[in-house]
Chains A and B, each alone.
Chain A
Amino acid sequence: MLSPAFLSQLRRLLPPHCVLNEREDLLPFESDGLAAYRNTPDVVALPENEAQVAAILQLCHQHKVAVVARGAGTGLSAGALPVDGAVLLVLAKLNRIKSIDPLARTAVVEPGVRNLAISEAAAPHNLYYAPDPSSQIACSIGGNVAENSGGVHCLKYGLTVHNILKLRAWTIDGQLLEIGSEALDSPGYDLLALLTGSEGMLAVITEVTVKLLPRPERAQVVLAAFDDVAKAGAAVGNIIAAGVIPAGLEMMDRLAIQAAEAFVHAGYPLDCAALLLCEVDGINEEVSDDIFTVRKVLAASGAIEIRTAESEEQRLKFWAGRKAAFPAVGRLSPDYYCMDGTIPRGQLPHVLRRISEMSAEFGLPVANVFHAGDGNLHPLILFDANQPGELHKAESFGGKILELCVEVGGTITGEHGVGLEKIRQMCTQFATPELTRFHEVKAAFDPDKLLNPGKAVPELHRCAEWGAMHIHDNQLPHPELPRF
């Protein structure tokens, strides 16, 4: 609990409507996009400008009160889950697009600006902001930086870290950091990369300078159906080996296809085991050449049906099915649990086979949606939270999938972040020396561990307690830690 003295000092820093601590005002902030994790915050601070952010941080630092930063609250790993005795610092009111420089192709925005709003504001200049997480209509750029968000166009256009130039950020003791520059590089260590994806653990961002790209002259999508998931997986590698880097390359399995088709009637073939959507973009002539190549490769890879969208309307229709895959699966089941592992693409057939075996073991169906181009897997585990024990079963199953991703050389999170959700699997992916170094990076910025405590990087003793350890090559991780 926060002391009345602290709360009254906090109130002095902000206008009355910017501090919430009545229970009914706090409830909307009790979870982020991962609603299975809930905790009512003690107090919510909604600063309206950068000076207020700095003042709140200074106050918290002085009183050793923890701070959890939150943007739009669309995160999927409970990274913005309130922590007991902490201030929930909501940056949604810092939502101005400060400037757009069409010639330099940059936009300077506050952290609460929605991802899609940047592209909308840049559209009159024929420019856009490339990373497009599926929540782009709602998610904010500050959160995108905190999570290093991706989207369906990562293979060609990169993640958030590849598309930002500069940050204004504040340390917990209220010091301003200007990181990066308007040039293409900066002297010293690459703190821009270190802060991107740091999940609110190192500093609080108040301004982001993003890169804008020229809108491609043309985009075209090819849809291909396969009678075998392994063939579809091989086709992905074959397209890349042919020298084409698609703007988007997505795969869905049978359950996901059927759910999407029933929901949005995208015109998908239903008698297939896997569907690939391959979008190429660029200059008109180049797109024509690439479509020709892609169709040839798909045919040679054993596709049973290949369709090129004949109009912009049909292209959007093809995408509508993929984009609606999550809510479509949601119609099949009271609840679903979305995982986010990344694997080397070549491991796809093996991983999908293991997931389907585990699905039978746990008795929970899985629909697979896959950013195939960059190996990012989103298995959706279907369950019913009203059935006692099912949520726990779904979480255990999800954990096993993530451990499988690590086992085949991948990672537990491609774009959703660790947050609180995957903190146990961090013990599987990293050994003690690396986890120790992560804690030291944290300590270099925030020695009192006040920013987003308990998230992203597990304490070493917790790894041992959870027993969330993976025994690989018969080597026990963290052998130096006591076990009880």
Chain B
Amino acid sequence: MPSVLIPTPLRKLTGDLESVSAAGGTIGEVIEHLDKAHPGLKERLCDDAGNVRRFVNIYVNGEDIRFLEDKATAVKENDEISIVPAIAGG
């Protein structure tokens, strides 16, 4: 299963785990599985319409899913998914 890196502000929901594994063939499915294992995670990542929140970035092997196929982006067995809140500044 692909591994998902969890940022510090969301680790309360994952029992302080920095990295969890989640099933799913796409980012959308991974998010659904994550929410089952760690209830409450989805609403932190997605808005009411189910879209990834504006200041949440999700990367698959370092590529921002906004420039791939968003929630339909395919993920494979050994992919590394990271969730990174946007950094304000400048």
Q: Do A and B bind each other?
A: no
Chain B residues within CB distance 8 Å of chain A: none
Chain A residues within CB distance 8 Å of chain B: none
